[in-house]
Structures are given as C-alpha cells and as structure tokens.
Chains A and B, each alone.
Chain A
Amino acid sequence: MAVLTEEQSMLRDAAKSWVQEKSPVTAFRKMRDSGAELGYDVAAWNEMAEMGWAGVIIPEEYGGSDFGYLSLGLVLEETGRTLTASPLLASALGGASAIILGGSDAQKSAWLSKIAEGAAIATLAVDEGPHHRPDKVATTVSGGKLSGKKTFVLEGMAANVFVVSAVSGGAVELYLVAADAPGVTRTKLNLADSRGAANVSFDNVAVSDADKLTGGAALLEKTLDRARAGISAEMLGAAVQAFEVTLDYLKTRVQFGQVIGSFQALQHRAAKMFTELELSRSAVEAALTAIDNDAPDVPELVSLAKAKMGDTFHLVSNEMVQMHGGIGMTDAHDAGFYLKRARAAEAAFGNQAFHRDRYARIQGY
C-alpha cells in the first residue's frame, strides 16, 4: 500500500466502510438477478456521487475535489473488492479524463460539473471490434457528419455523452457526441460479467469543431492510459478479495481429516498468488502515481500495470474456482463472478498481450 496523505486515507476508509455496508457482493448478485437495464444500481451510484467519488479527479472549479488518480484508484480498489458495478470507471475516470485533458472551457462547463455530481455519464467509445486497437479507427468525420460503429462501450446504455474517436482529415480526433443526438443508436450487450456495456452506432451524426476535443491521437492515448490505470486499480481490489476469500476457504474446508490449507500443494500456490498480488500492487500504484506526477514514463508504467494486473487477476480468479472445487462451480457461490469479471476487465482497454507488445515497442524492441 502506497504511503497515503490524510485525505487519501480518509477517502479509502470511507470507501471501505460504504462498500462493506452498502455494496457487498450480494448487492451485485441482486443487481444481476434483477436484470437491471443499465448494468448497475442507480441508487447506489447516487450515494457514491453524493460522497464526492465521481469528482475525485475533476478540478474544484467544476465541483470536483481534484484529489488525483491515486486517490480515485483507492476508491476503485475498494469498489472492485465487492465487484460494485457503477459508472465510476467509465465516466468519473475515463470520460472525465478526456474532457479535463482536451476539453475547451465551454466543453468543461457543459459536462464536468454534471459528471462530478453523477448526474451525467460520459464514456469512451473507442473500440470497433473484438479487440482493443485504438489506433485502427474506421469511424470518420466528413462534411460535418460522424459515422461509424463502436463496440463494447462501457456503460454505453447509461451514457449521456460519448467520447468518440474518429478520423477527420487523415488524423484521429476525439469528439463529444450526446447520446440523444440524431443518428445515435445503441444496443445493450449482455456480457458474462453482467456489467453495463453497449455497441453504439453513429449514422451521419452532425458534429462541429465545437464538439471536437483538442489533442488528437496523443489525447486519446493519454486518456486511455488513465482508464487503463483506473481499471487496473479496480482489478487489484477484486483480485485481492478473491484471494482472501480463497485463503479463508483453505483454512476452513476439511478433507482427509484436516483443513485443505495444510497441504503443501495448495500452500505453495497460495504463496505464489500472494507474491503476484504484491508485485501487481506495486505496478498499479506506481502507474497511478506517475499519472498524478505527469511523469514522462506514464505509458510504459501503465502498460506494465495493466499487463501484470491482468496476469495476476487471471491466475487468482482461476485458482479461486479450482481451490473451491465443486462449490466454486455453482452459481450460488461468488467465485464465478470474479472469474467472469476478471476476463472482462482483462479485455478492456487492452489485454496482457496488447500491453506487453506496447511496453516493448516503447522501449524499442
């Protein structure tokens, strides 16, 4: 755990106790069973916003607290523990980052206060196929009309505004497109992890220079790096929780007349998981801290964090099922939730293979 400021400690503690009281995994299960249209519990999200969590990275003049990315990462880690579904990542981190980094005064005024209040949901619409390939953009802007299809848009059904990547005049640009603009249609995706996502198509949607963010492809990468670090923090919380639940099971499940945690074959796998979680925590905290410091090596540190965290969550979620045995295969147990969330989170904003390749390219090999 990074050395925290007093504000950060308070924020983390508040998140920890809210999550335990108001948003345990049973809340996620209830949301899933209810078939909630948006993929999250709106009342819970309102409570999170009331506590200021939607404005952690947003400047004070727009109603945020400007506490930075490590701080928001602390909240995401806690909500990640219990798989709390909300637009915290997609909107309060992803969408907000794009507007903070590339928005005009008018764009910031129009959206940031509402995002900080939780009243508006902004989200990144950057992927166009089954894989994260942000540099391959087929969506175009031509003659003031934006057209294309975006896939796996997080909280796509809830979004009020999309941050859309599109090629204009040969270069990748980001546009703010209101969800209710004529020509925007969205389709809810029912994914294994039960979280909110949509495919969104843009058919000759009218856009002007006033809708364009400043920064082009560099802004897109900078924004994505923030989203990648943020989801890594969420994955860290989920993986730590999955491990702790599994460890607890090793200490209580009795077979052959002894707790199964007394078997060395399981002990050493537990020690391996613990080690990987510690290494992953270092990488995730270093990436978030680098973003807060605007360090030059943010891209490689973020790719390190996302790749490392992806591998670790992958391992821990598999072991959670395996070590629980039959009970871990049942829908009544939470292990499946962590397994499904792990794969969805791994795929989001670039999987391990994507980030390993990116890390090496940045370093020149």
Chain B
Amino acid sequence: MADFGGTDLEAFRGEVRTWVEANFPAALKGKNPMQVEERNTPTPDMEAWRKAVGSKGWGTPTWPKEYGGGGLSSAEARVVQGEFARARAYNPIGGMGVMMFGPTLLEYGTEAQKQEHIPPICRGEIAWCQGFSEPGAGSDLAGLQTKAEDKGDHFVINGQKIWTSGAQWADWCFCLVRTDTSKKHEGISFVLFTMHQKGVETRPIPLIAGSSPFCEVFLTDALADKKNLVGPLNGGWTIAKRLLQHERSGLTGAGGGLGSGGKPIEQLAKEYVGVDEEGRIADSDLRTRLINNVMNMRAFQQTAVRAMVEARGNASPGNTTSIMKNAGTSLIQERHEMALEIMGHQGLGWEGDDFSAEELGAVRGWLFGKAFTIFGGSSEVQSNIVSKRILGLPDLTQSK
C-alpha cells in the first residue's frame, strides 16, 4: 500500500489525534448514538461533537471543501477514520444524506443545488429520507405512480410512498415522481422537497421485530420548488440508479458481529452449547455450519478490502456492489438464525427480565434481519442485475 507511508500523512495523523483529544467528549467514548431515535434527542455532548466534526468536514472527509466536506484524499480519510476508532469516537455525521443523497447530488446537482444542500449534510444539520418505493412499486421500482404536476415554478405532488426510513424524523426528502405517464423509465423525475409542509403526512410501520424506522408517507398536494428538480425533467431514473449503487455499497458494510458490541458467534456457541474435550463446540453439526459462516464472512471482508485496493483513485461504487449485497446480507441472516439456534429457548424471548439483553437483541435482530435481503433491491433483483450488467445475459425483466 504505497499511499500509506508518507511523512506528510504521519504529520496529519498527529494533527488529527491532537484534535480528537481536544474535541471528543469523554462521556461519549465507546458509544454509537447514531441510531435515528437517539439522534433525534441529542445530549449537549452529542451536539458539541457533531458541530466540531461538522465544522472540520471530517464526517464527510473526501467531499469537496467548497461544499463543507473535508477535502481529504482517501489515504487521509483513512487516517481520520483510524484516529476516531482509536479514540473510540463515532462519526456523528451520517444518515441517508451522507450515504446516498450527497454523493449523488455532488455528481448530478447544479452548482446552486450543491451550495444549498451539501453544506448542511456535512454539518449534520439536515436529516434526509428517501421517497422511492410505493405500495405498487417495490422490486419494480420504475412502476411508481406518485405524480408531480408542473405548475410553472413548482410541482404539486400526489401519491404514496412506503418503507421510507426515518421519514418521521426527516427534514427533507429526495423523491422519485412521475412527470410523464406515457413512458415508464423515461417518465420519472428526481425532486427534493421539505418534509415540514402541510401536504406531507408520515405514519410509522410496526414490523415483525416491533417498532421500526420505516414509514408510510402520504403526499397530498405537496409542493416542490422547480429549482429542486435534480437533473433533467423525466431524467430521474439515471440518477436513481446511481443512488441505488451508493445505497447497496452502504448496506453491505455490515461487519462480523451480530450488532454493535455483540460477542463473536463462536464465543456464544461455546458458552451456550459447551465444548468437547478438545475445546471444540460440542454440537458438531452446528460447529460445521458455524465455521462455514465465519469463513465465508472472512472471504467477504477480504473481498471488500480487495475492491477498495483495486478501486484506489476511483472511489465510486461499481457493479461489484451488487455481488457484495447478496453475499453480505445472506451471511448475516444465516448468522442471526444460528444465534437463535445457539441460544435455544433463551433465544426466543420477546421481553422481560428472564432474558438477557443479548438474548432479546438476538430475537429482534433475527426478525429485523429478514429485511436485509428485501430492502435496497431484493436478492432476486440483485441477481438480475449481476446477470444482466456483469455477465451480459439477456434481460427479461426490462428493469434497465
């Protein structure tokens, strides 16, 4: 890794370390309050840390400085990441604005749109939500029907969105709307509007795992300024596809544990199932399946590293993200299933003091984990994309 060495980088590391020591509130050490609910009621420490990181642009380290980003090289960004991890500090700048919308707007937005919308994302001031799926447009996203009527300097939007994560806390929405009913893909536009308006109503959706960040969003004569049309009229599908690539690459990042702070699965198995005289997990059938999962997870992580090294200098996610999403999400689901099996009846508690937090977490994690292979493009849609875009096989779904 040639770009790791330089003395400039070491000097930068020192600078970051000093800054983190001076600015990161000790009370937040080891915590990650980036869950949407907690983020919505921040403590003074959380606010201070968000503002400090936001003013440096280090929450979005590689984004251009002129829009409030860090303006760092990817090597420098890794230094920042490393120093945050070393101090057990979380990145307080996150959400869909950072993960999906920002990178897409930087690519497709006008200068004025970037000036207006990117800096608040870098400062962590504005929460964005994604108005894509509809009751009748899931895997076949381009079948969406939410209609935007051209009223001169603005659009009037009517329709319903669903599975909109964090809509009840969001300030703004990036939304796909139909602006031409005579064509399918070429009749879709990409617009931005504020959630704080009369025509927008949100309703949270309870899931099999309990409460969830997912919402229904009802749009009744909601308004979007014309200046917030991103890309050309009826040219939204191209932008949406790009944004979905960012979404997929974000969704596959899930690591080795079951969740934040969870024990490694092999440790759980040793505790709940016991070990034989050689120290092996006593249930040999479980052990084999568990080893398989652990090894596949490692190969998955090796692939993520390889993709990063190979893409040096070309940071945008490519077609490989489609492989990564299926590989990663299926392994995590398998791991959730195994955790339940390992815990036995203790792994089936819904609530109450008879179960540890870890046990209760395992149940909810298992149930919520079923969404991983559905949202962000289901496994089946991902496989369609791989076979069409990477392998060059004929397309039967006309999914573009």
Contacts and interface: CB of A to CB of B under 8 A. Distances in A.
A360 B390 contact: no
A272 B390 CA distance: 12
Interface stretch (B183-191, B242-250, B287-295): B287-295
Interface residues of A, number: 38
Interface stretch (A137-145, A255-263, A330-338): A255-263
Contacts of B305: 282
Contact of B302 (A271, A283, A353): A283
A365 B269 contact: yes
B361 to A, nearest CB: 22
Interface stretch (A172-180, A197-205, A211-219, A273-281): A273-281
B218 interface: no
A268 B380 contact: yes
B320 interface: yes
A308 B387 CA distance: 22
A68 B59 CA distance: 40
Contact of A268 (B275, B294, B302, B387): B387
A279 B293 CA distance: 13
Interface residues of B, number: 43
Given A3-B309, A267-B393, A365 B281 contact: yes
Nearest to A258: B394
Interface in A266-299: 267-268, 270-272, 274-275, 278-283, 285-286
Contacts of B327: 275, 279
Contacts of B269: 365
B32 interface: no
A308 to B, nearest CB: 5
B323 A275 contact: yes
A286 B302 contact: yes
Given A262-B393, A278-B320, A307-B295, A360 B302 contact: no
A308 B299 CA distance: 8
A282 B390 CA distance: 18
Contacts of A264: 384, 396
Contacts of A286: 302, 306
Given A3-B310, A283-B302, A365-B281, A304 B391 contact: no
B279 A262 contact: no
B120 to A, nearest CB: 37
A279 B392 CA distance: 20
Contacts of B382: 271
B221 interface: no
Interface string B268-293: 01100001001111000001101110
Nearest to A247: B391
B396 A308 contact: no
A359 interface: yes
Contacts of A274: 323, 386, 390-391
A130 interface: no
B303 interface: yes
A43 interface: no
A364 interface: yes
Given A268-B380, A268-B387, A275 B326 contact: yes
A361 B280 contact: yes
Contact of B296 (A251, A271, A279, A353): A279
Interface string B298-321: 111011011001101000000010
B266 interface: yes
A106 interface: no
Nearest to A361: B280
B280 A2 contact: no
A251 to B, nearest CB: 7
B327 to A, nearest CB: 5
Contacts of B194: none
B113 interface: no
Given A261-B393, A270-B391, A271-B387, A359 B299 contact: no
B291 A267 contact: no
B390 to A, nearest CB: 7
A1 B310 contact: yes
B287 A365 contact: yes
A278 B295 contact: no
Contacts of B298: 283, 304
Contacts of A60: none
Interface string A324-365: 000000000000000000000000000001001101110111
A285 B302 CA distance: 9
B306 A282 contact: yes
Nearest to B302: A282
Given A247-B391, A283-B299, A365 B306 contact: no
B293 to A, nearest CB: 11
Given A247-B391, A264-B384, A267-B393, 8 more contacts: A270-B387, A271-B326, A271-B390, A274-B386, A304-B298, A359-B294, A360-B290, A365-B266
13 contacts: A3-B309, A267-B384, A267-B388, A271-B383, A274-B391, A278-B323, A282-B303, A307-B295, A356-B288, A356-B292, A359-B295, A360-B291, A365-B280
Interface of A: 1-3, 247, 250-251, 258-259, 261-262, 264, 267-268, 270-272, 274-275, 278-283, 285-286, 304, 307-308, 353, 356-357, 359-361, 363-365
